[in-house]
Amino acid sequence: MASQFAWPQQIDNDAVANAASDAAHHPAWARNGRVSVVIPALNEAANLPHVLPRIPAWVHEVVLVDGHSTDGTANVARELRPDIHIITQQGKGKGAALRTGFAWASGDIIIMLDADGSTDPAEIPAFVGALLAGADYVKGSRFVQGGGTADMSLTRRLGNWGFVRAVRLLFGGHYTDLCYGYNAFWAHALPALSLDCDGFEVETLMNVRALKARLRVAEVPSFEAPRVHGVGRLRPLQDGWRVVKVLAREQRAFSKGGNGER
């Protein structure tokens, strides 16, 4: 089926670079644009020392969504960043955690960050820069120049490749990455995403609905590192199947002229 969606206007790369530099070195703009970082966490006490201290000082607030951890995650977070906001997750799964955090965040810009050390807080200025340059929604990509991954099996790589092409076929656009959770957006764009899922498929849902809502989308290079400590909770087969169901649901809604909400 041919896409009826026009890919959002290309964001000028020079404008992104200049705005990212301003965000990194001249954070006075933050008086007019507060940034909230939302971090879902479940038993990540050992990893938080590799994440929280590296968040730029000009970030307005850090919201850690605790999924009922039993390893002292909340205590470690408070020791590392006394001004952190710790809220208890409603429901189960990454999608539920993010929805909880997004509802609580008060910033003009919301950024998603993983608690396991796989996403680099030093990249935050690039995401903010793309938003300041005109994007509504910014997604990290491991497959554009400057991006990369050290934590992706062949199975996951092939699955992501297939999903990217499925989204291009079903919804149009030029995404280079899909199942990756380093995203940022203006808070006013959140209602257009209308999030209603609980698991890891939330990353795909956000990207597809940003496209369907005709938001101005930009991709920025991002490097995915292995988690520092512990074992990841992603289950490639089960979570891959959840992504398939999300894409099928969104396509059915697209065909009927809806947005895919349950």
Instruction: Reduce the DSSP state of residue 200 to 3 states and report it.
Output: coil
Q: Tell me the C-alpha to C-alpha distance, in Å, between residue 182 and each of 54, 79, 139, 141, 206.
A: 15, 25, 6, 8, 11
Residue 3 lies in a domain: no
Percent of residues, the chain, with pLDDT higher than 70: 82
CA dist 230 and 169 (Å) reads 37
Q: Is residue 262 part of a domain?
A: no
Q: What is the dihedral of CA 38, 44, 45, 49, to 10 degrees?
A: -60
- Number of other CB atoms surrounding residue 203 within 10 Å: 25
What's phi and psi for 157, nearest 5 deg?
Answer: -65, -45
Number of Cβ within a 10 Å radius of residue 33: 16
What's the token pair of residue 158? 């092939």
3-state secondary structure 99-130: HHHHHHCCCCEEEECCCCCCCCHHHHHHHHHH
Highest mean pLDDT among 40-49, 123-132, 223-232: 40-49
For the chain, what is the domain count? 1
Give the range of the structural domain holding residue 93, as residue numbers without chain letter: 13-255
Q: What is the mean pLDDT of the chain?
A: 86
What stretches of 172-218 show up as alpha helix (H) in DSSP? 190-193, 202-212
Is 115 inside a domain boundary?
yes
pLDDT at 27 over 70: no
pLDDT at residue 261 in the model: 58
Average pLDDT over residues 116-124: 96
Residue 24 sits in a domain whose CATH number is: 3.90.550.10
Sheet holding 85-88, edge to edge: 85-88, 61-66, 35-41, 109-112, 183-186, 137-141, 217-221
The verdict on residue 42 lying in a domain is yes
pLDDT at position 242 is 84
7: in domain: no
Residue 2 belongs to a domain: no
Classify residue 112: in a domain, yes or no: yes
Half-sphere exposure of residue 220: CA atoms within 13 angstroms, side-chain side: 30
What would the two tokens of residue 157 be?
Answer: 């790589």
Q: Write down the pLDDT at residue 17.
A: 59
Q: Per the domain annotation, does 260 fall within a domain?
A: no
Asked if the model's pLDDT at residue 33 lies above 80, the reply is no
Q: Would you say 220 and 125 are in contact if contact means Cβ atoms under 8 Å apart?
A: no
